[in-house]
A = this chain, B = another copy of it.
Amino acid sequence: MARIVQTFSGGMDSATLLRYLSRGGHELRTIGFDYGQRHKKELQFASKMAADLGVPYTIVSLDSLTCLLSESALTNADVAVPDGHYAEESMKITVVPNRNMIMLAVAIGYAENLHYDAVAIANHTGDHTIYPDCRPAFVEALDVAARLATYGGIRVLSPFKHISKTEIVAIGNAIGVDYRDTWSCYKGGDEHCGTCGTCVERQEALDEAGGVAVPAALDQVSAAMNEALT
């Protein structure tokens, strides 16, 4: 049992991670970030899911950063959200510079303030192609930095770093995540658009999750947990 602050966007990956950690009996807090993203409605989904699990959720406003991180289609209303697949070069425009380090840095400060043990993030193998700050090497480097920066030796957990989004959804199905409670679409309209990168990935994962060997995926997750916590 550990005491963990999880970054929680309200998407499929972080919803699965929250349920996984909750079932593990860990003491949890969650934080979400309002950084001027178009799809701010994800935070409402996150808030409801956290409440359903009885986990405190805090939304941190990073509004004043929007102008500093203005190149991304997610934060700049003048840049269109591209359609297509995550792996494509065109999807680079959805990268918010250094987003994960900023969010994790805040989560680490919060964890230190609470005298908690760790922070957790739901990055996975499918993110790696275009988001440099989702790669295992980055999260592991930040884990080293976090232990050095804090009296409590805060750890950075990245339990999904070696599995795919499809494997995440297969695990979620097995542990009772209802993906209708999650929000993915970058365009933030009334319904999921079905064509932006994150919608394409979402549908692909939902369609293919049935073919995954869940116990093997869970082994990878628990190995990643143990590696960081010991």
Interface residues of A (CB under 8 A from B): 31, 58, 60-65, 67-71, 95-102, 104-106, 108-110, 112-113, 132-133, 135, 137-138, 141-142, 144-146, 148-151, 154
Contact = CB atoms under 8 A, between A and B. Distances in A.
A144 B146 contact: no
B98 A149 contact: yes
B141 A145 contact: yes
A97 B145 CA distance: 13
Contacts of A144: 141, 144-145
Of the candidates A112, A144, A149, A151, the one having the most CB atoms from chain B within 10 angstroms of its own CB is A149
Q: In the complex, which of the residues A67, A96, A113 has the most CB atoms of chain B within 10 Å of its own CB atom?
A: A113
Given A61-B64, A68-B109, A133-B148, 11 more contacts: A58-B68, A65-B106, A68-B110, A69-B110, A71-B113, A95-B151, A98-B105, A98-B108, A101-B105, A102-B109, A132-B149
A98 B138 contact: no
A150 B109 contact: no
Given A145-B141, A148-B138, A149-B133, A60 B71 contact: no
Given A65-B60, A102-B106, A102-B109, A145 B138 contact: yes
Contact of A109 (B60, B69, B148, B154): B69
Given A68-B106, A69-B113, A141 B148 contact: yes
B138 A151 contact: no
A190 to B, nearest CB: 28
